[in-house]
Amino acid sequence: MRSFHLVSLGCAKNLVDSELIIGNLTQEGWQFQEDPEAADLLMLNTCGFIQPAVEEAIEEILELAKIKENHPEQKLVVVGCLVQRYKDSLAAELTEVDLFVGTEGCHDMARRVESLYSAEGTDSVQIPERFIMDSTMPRVLTTPFYRAWFKLTEGCDNRCSYCMIPSIRGDLRSRPVDDLVLEAQRLEAGGLRELSLIAQDLTAYGDDLDANTHLSELLGRLLEETEIPWIRLLYLYPTGIDDRLLKLMAANSRIVPYLDIPFQHVSTRVLHAMNRRYSTEDLYALIRKIRSYIPEVALRTTFLVGFPGEDERDVDQIITFLEDMQLDHVGVFTYANEEGSVSEKYADQVPEEIKIARRDRVLEVQSRISSEIQQKYVGREELVLVEGLSKETDLLLEGRTQYQAPDVDGCVYINEGTASPGDIVKVRISESQVYDLVGGIV
């Protein structure tokens, strides 16, 4: 049996693609190999939407190429966003790679790889037609059995001026509701406790399908036709959050009181230049509305600082907003001037050291706000999804409340009681840190 080793870079959406690649290769008789030195095939699923991700991908390709040097019979295959973005130049620059495949090849990767071993040979760069995954495609979870990323759409119809995603991933394609329900049921049968809904823009779900297909309709079906205890919504576009969705969340505790809404900025002027369709006032109104429906909601957002033309007053606006609105979790990134993006040509580019200083300024304020917010949990009993032994020490268990999303937020260290991974238990919180909580099982 031939074996493959796969490294997956980038976001959760890319990880789902990797899970399809593993599913397809495994179904076609390949075996996953932990040790790259011992694998017949080395595969890298890349991210490439900003320069740091491109650099990370190239470094990883060179690492794998070094391994291949000692094992000349090995094949090296690179797939994903980097290939889609740089399809015309990669093959000439990275001659160590045997095959490049774009983002749309994950469901039939075995067939593509097979051609490397055939006498006729193959095109070394393959950019397959656009596709959208469905529940019939074999998928091997790389996350623990009790949680999974659930990809509703591919591509994006928004045109934020800094973003390369639409040109890499194409226009919006949504999966049909029936197909998503089927996949959720299958995941539930495997013991799933937490389903995290993801997309480039979750609120755009269904815009390309018939007029009755929206996120709320899908959620209604998931609530009715599964008993998955935690359903989590990630990556919502601010203007797509409507009363129908908030009412549904308020009435159904199985949709956890947590929303990840990337704002990118607060200043109307900068938002306009970013081609995002809302203003400072809209953001204040949105948060007030969300809290009027779900007072206990935890909110996560991300900001992009250092956009061309941004000045210190715009950053002050972010800081005032954070002080006023007390968001639970905030990520801050510096703007990267991406080749081929609309904003690449904008005047008044901000020097790198100023971008970094602005990011640090916002993060410093938020770290105080986050640690103050965390204190409200002390003394409370919260449901916690147990993830297993703590990564810090075998003496503690680790888990997450509904207010903490996997991978990006803090965790709960459990110092009393026993439970198994995937259990949802009640924990009395005794201590809070900037991002993490500590408590014992009740």
Residues that bind ligand SF4 (CB under 6 A): 156, 158-160, 163, 165-166, 200-201, 237
Nearer to ligand SF4 among residue 166 and residue 176 (C-beta): 166
Q: Which of 86, 84, 135, 87 is nearest to 107 (CA)?
A: 135
Find out whether 338 and 165 touch, Cβ atoms under 8 Å.
Answer: no
Between 153 and 280, CB nearer to ligand SF4: 153
Nearest CA-CA partner of 295 in 260, 257, 264: 257
Within 339-413, residue ranges assigned H as helices are: 352-374
In the complex with ligand SF4, the residue whose CB is nearer, 156 or 318, is 156
Q: Smallest distance from the beta carbon of 367 to ligand SF4, in angstroms?
A: 25
The least distance separating ligand SF4 from the CB of residue 274, rounded to whole angstroms, comes to 8
Cβ-based nearer residue to ligand SF4, 3 or 161: 161
CA distances for 138 relative to 18, 115, 197, 390, angstroms: 11, 21, 19, 31
* Nearest Cα residue to 6 out of 76, 71, 67, 56: 76
- By C-beta, is 163 or 297 nearer to ligand SF4? 163
Minimum distance from residue 160 beta carbon to ligand SF4 (Å): 3
CA 266 to chain centre: 22
Smallest distance from ligand SF4 to CB 34, Å: 33
Residue 172 CB, nearest approach to ligand SF4 (Å): 9
Q: Find out whether 197 and 231 touch, Cβ atoms under 8 Å.
A: yes
Nearer to ligand SF4, 333 or 435 (CB): 333
Cβ at position 199, least distance to ligand SF4 in Å: 9
Q: DSSP secondary structure string, 316-351? A: HHHHHHHHHH--SEEEEEE----TTSGGGG-SSPPP
Strands 31-32 and 41-46, bridge-based pairing = unpaired
Residue 197 beta carbon to ligand SF4: minimum distance, rounded to whole angstroms: 15
Sheet holding 41-46, edge to edge: 31-32, 3-8, 41-46, 75-80, 99-101, 125-126
Sheet with 255-260: list strands edge to edge.
Answer: 147-151, 194-198, 230-233, 255-260, 298-305, 329-334
Rounded Cα gap, residues 196 and 253, in angstroms: 15
Give yes or no for a contact between 256 and 299, defined as CB atoms under 8 angstroms apart: no
Nearer Cβ to ligand SF4 (239/418): 239
Nearest approach in angstroms of CB 246 to ligand SF4 is 20
Q: Which one, 244 or 277, has the nearer CB to ligand SF4?
A: 277
